Amino acid sequence: MPHEHTHRGEAIEGRHSRVYDRLARLLMKPHYRRIATDIAASAPDGAALLDVGTGPGILLKTLARIRPDLRLAGVDLARDMIDHARRNLAGLDGLELHAADVAALPFEDDRFDLVVSSYSSHHWGDPEAGSAEIARILRPGGRFINYDFPRAPLDALTRRSGLTLVRQTPFRSPFMKTTRFEAAAN
């Protein structure tokens, strides 16, 4: 199982990315399915959705199956993870993947209706800059839904970012204690 660690601002590369890809595809499917089901219930029809810290793309793959109407994109700091995501998402049309830091997203303003992240925000080198970038690319009234460990820097996600906390609740998830953090773009 993925463990809670504190390496912030570092990409998961090389052998570690291969192990993570294997774990995500083989052991974490029920976990990603649970998160995808929650996201699918929150996403407006035909929404443009960005997965920040997409890793090997398993959440995007599950979302594409549950909600084919969504326009999906993913970013990850690690080029290796984006390569895994491309392989795992082969055959799915219209997906956009980029190796990018959350603090410097390669998208124009007001592009997405929904931005999601799962177990990524505790890795961000600068959570305030990352959430400000998320606020920039969200359309007015758009939502950011973050699933992470309770000790993740969740309070930093609304500090000087242009995001307003909607709710923060425990999220029932197999394997890990998780917090669901939802914020809206101002």
pLDDT tens digits, residue range 146-162? 999 999 999 999 988 89
The answer, yes or no, to whether residue 119 has pLDDT greater than 60, is yes
User: What is the pLDDT averaged over residues 73-101?
Assistant: 92
d(CA 14, CA 3): 18
Residue whose structure tokens are 């993740």: 152
CA-to-CA separations, 158 to 75, 81, 118, 175, 184, in angstroms, rounded: 21, 27, 17, 27, 10
Determine the pLDDT at residue 82. Answer: 94
Q: Kindly state whether residue 6 falls inside one of the protein's structural domains.
A: no
Determine the pLDDT at residue 19. Answer: 55
Determine the pLDDT at residue 111. Answer: 98
The pLDDT tens digits of the residues spanning 104-114 come to 999 999 999 99
Q: Kindly state whether residue 15 falls inside one of the protein's structural domains.
A: no
Instruction: Confirm if 85 and 55 have CB atoms less than 8 A apart.
Output: yes
| Lookup: tokens for 116 | 């999601």
The answer, yes or no, to whether residue 164 has pLDDT greater than 50, is yes
d(CA 26, CA 41): 25
The pLDDT tens digits of the residues spanning 46-70 come to 999 999 999 889 899 999 999 999 9
81 pLDDT band (50/70/90 cuts)? confident
User: What is the pLDDT averaged over residues 30-49?
Assistant: 93
Instruction: Confirm if 139 and 171 have CB atoms less than 8 A apart.
Output: no
Three-class secondary structure of residue 4 per DSSP: coil
Q: Kindly state whether residue 17 falls inside one of the protein's structural domains.
A: no
User: Which residues, at least 6 apart from 128, have a Cβ–Cβ distance to it below 8 Å?
Assistant: 156, 157, 159, 160, 161
4 pLDDT band (50/70/90 cuts)? very low
Q: Kindly state whether residue 103 falls inside one of the protein's structural domains.
A: yes
The helix or strand, by DSSP H or E, that contains position 130, with its residue range, turns out to be: helix 127-137
Where residue 98 sits, what CATH number does that domain have? 3.40.50.150
Whole domain around residue 81: which residue ranges?
28-185
Q: Kindly state whether residue 3 falls inside one of the protein's structural domains.
A: no
Number of domains in the chain: 1
The secondary structure of 67-122 as a DSSP string is -TTSEEEEEES-HHHHHHHHHHTTT-TT-EEEE--GGG-SS-TT-EEEEEEES-GG
The answer, yes or no, to whether residue 2 has pLDDT greater than 80, is no
Determine the pLDDT at residue 5. Answer: 38
The answer, yes or no, to whether residue 129 has pLDDT greater than 60, is yes
Q: Kindly state whether residue 23 falls inside one of the protein's structural domains.
A: no
Q: Kindly state whether residue 12 falls inside one of the protein's structural domains.
A: no
Q: Kindly state whether residue 50 falls inside one of the protein's structural domains.
A: yes
Three-class secondary structure of residue 44 per DSSP: coil
What percent of the chain is predicted at pLDDT more than 90? 65
Question: Across the chain, what does the average pLDDT equal?
Answer: 87
The helix or strand, by DSSP H or E, that contains position 1, with its residue range, turns out to be: none
